[in-house]
Amino acid sequence: MDEPFQLALIGTKGKWYDHEVTVSDVQSAEAEEGDDDMAAAKKVAELIDAIYVQNWTEETDAQCEAAKKAWDELTDEQKALVEGEVADPDYFGNDTGDASKDDPLNGDEIGENELLVVSFGTSFNDSRAEDIGGIEKALAAAYPEWSVRRAFTAQIIINHVNARDGEKIDNVDQALQRAVDNGVKNLVIQPTHLMHGAEYDELVDTLGKYSDKFESVKIAEPLLGEVGKDPSIVNEDKEKVAKAITEAAVKDAGYDTIDAADEDGTAFVFMGHGTSHTANVTYSQMQTQMQELGYKNVFIGTVEGLPEETELNAVIEAVKTAGYKKVILRPLMVVAGDHANNDMAGDEEDSWKSGFEKDGSFDSIECQISGLGGIPAVQEVYVSHTGDVLN
């Protein structure tokens, strides 16, 4: 050990070579096994990182399958070691419900009239079936002469669902090409996005490449309708949604009315995503809408903190200043997915729940994990928007 000695090695072509070598830092069998565990976990992390991307290629489906196969071959101990640039054990290990309850709505032979419902998407199975699926079912029931189909704009989510559950959801390009291949003549697109933001703009751009493939193409309004120029401008859509989500939150909290909750010192905080897009004024308009409805104990916030008055600390300060001691957090998002479960209700120190608790000014912090898409009155807004373009 640790002393040089002579050794003869034979090369691949049969030639012998003399070497002086030293043996040191000998590893135990346990250490070698640990190295093997890390290598196996690293391989899976690299495969996950490779499909955690927003672009689709012809290799994507095979990459998703390879990642899941490699994950399934790991031991429980190895799974706990998976860590990459974005990869972690929750990618495959997190239980988000039964994927078989969801319908990807990617069937063919659908006739000449298609209603394509375009969503950002979610990898949370229960929310995908209840929230996005709820909107799709409401539209199918309202317009039975139109074949309802689905597309997601987030390829990262599409890949996640594909790899973990084997459920294949079309992205927008795939869905539009499927419509062309199916001989669809009349296409109506209903986005489930909240506003005319970046996702909506990208959808319009993509649609432009297919506009000459159909006899008619129409795109309906997103949930909250026209944006408006400043925070004071509201509309009928925002009023309907404000009433619907507040009524649902009040009911789930066990109050008869919003006034009863106010008298009990309870504030409702709706957490949206936020965006740097100019459409972020929509969140401020929703706060204006709540005030115009007399909901003085309702506050609007965003994960991204854009616009600035919707940032977590600003919202905490607003609730404190108003004197409320009980806080109920609920997502202002179509789905109750990763943002709702982690950014809002998670136990990590940077979650909204943890932020309110850390402030120390409140007696209780509760979370309602429920997306907008599961509320019938919200579904009816989408139905109305689709009806506007059909008529």
Tens-place pLDDT, residues 280-313 = 999 999 999 999 999 999 999 999 999 999 999 9
* Res. 10 pLDDT band, cuts 50 70 90: low
Mean pLDDT of 354-367: 98
Select from 266, 262, 246, 191 the least CA-distant residue to 223. 191
* Res. 162 pLDDT band, cuts 50 70 90: very high
Report the alpha-carbon distance of residue 219 to residue 233 in Å, rounded.
23
Mean pLDDT of 337-361: 97
Q: How far is CA 159 from CA 97, 167, 197, 321, 340, in A?
A: 17, 9, 23, 44, 20
Tokens 């250490």 — which residue?
31
pLDDT at 26 over 80: no
Q: Return the exposure string of 218-257: e unless at least 16 CB atoms fall within 10 Å of the residue's CB, then b.
A: ebbbbbbbebbeebebbeebbebbbbbbbebbbeebebee
% of the chain with per-residue pLDDT over 90: 91
Report the alpha-carbon distance of residue 130 to residue 375 in Å, rounded.
10
What pLDDT, on a 0 to 100 scale, did the predictor assign at position 193?
A: 98
Mean pLDDT of 185-199: 97
What pLDDT, on a 0 to 100 scale, did the predictor assign at position 5?
A: 85
Least confident of 32-36, 60-64, 163-167: 32-36
What pLDDT, on a 0 to 100 scale, did the predictor assign at position 34?
A: 73
Q: How far is CA 218 from CA 135, 173, 283, 306, in A?
A: 18, 16, 26, 30
Which amino acid, one-letter code, is at 83?
E
pLDDT at 27 over 70: no
pLDDT at 89 over 70: yes
What pLDDT, on a 0 to 100 scale, did the predictor assign at position 29?
A: 46
What pLDDT, on a 0 to 100 scale, did the predictor assign at position 12?
A: 41
Report the alpha-carbon distance of residue 124 to residue 341 in Å, rounded.
10
Least confident of 13-17, 328-332, 341-345, 386-390: 13-17
Answer for the pair 330, 367: CB distance below 8 angstroms, yes or no.
Answer: yes
**How does pLDDT run across 211-224, given as a tens digit for each residue?**
899 999 999 999 99
What pLDDT, on a 0 to 100 scale, did the predictor assign at position 21?
A: 66
Tokens 């959801």 — which residue?
169
Average pLDDT of the chain is 95
Report the alpha-carbon distance of residue 113 to residue 218 in Å, rounded.
12
pLDDT at 241 over 90: yes
What pLDDT, on a 0 to 100 scale, did the predictor assign at position 4?
A: 85
Backbone φ and ψ of 364, nearest 5°:
-155, 145
* Res. 28 pLDDT band, cuts 50 70 90: low
pLDDT at 31 over 90: no
Residues with Cβ < 8 Å from 189, sequence gap 6 or more?
A: 115, 116, 117, 118, 203, 207, 217, 218, 219, 220
Select from 58, 162, 53, 169 the least CA-distant residue to 118. 169
The first and second tokens of residue 337, run together, are 């997915």
Torsion of CA 370, 372, 374, 376, to 10 degrees: 140
Determine how many CB atoms are found less than 10 A away from the CB of residue 125. 21
Least confident of 23-27, 253-257, 322-326: 23-27
Top pLDDT among 311 and 34 is at: 311
What pLDDT, on a 0 to 100 scale, did the predictor assign at position 19?
A: 61
What pLDDT, on a 0 to 100 scale, did the predictor assign at position 17?
A: 57
* Res. 33 pLDDT band, cuts 50 70 90: low
What pLDDT, on a 0 to 100 scale, did the predictor assign at position 210?
A: 95
Q: How far is CA 140 from CA 66, 300, 385, in A?
A: 35, 31, 14
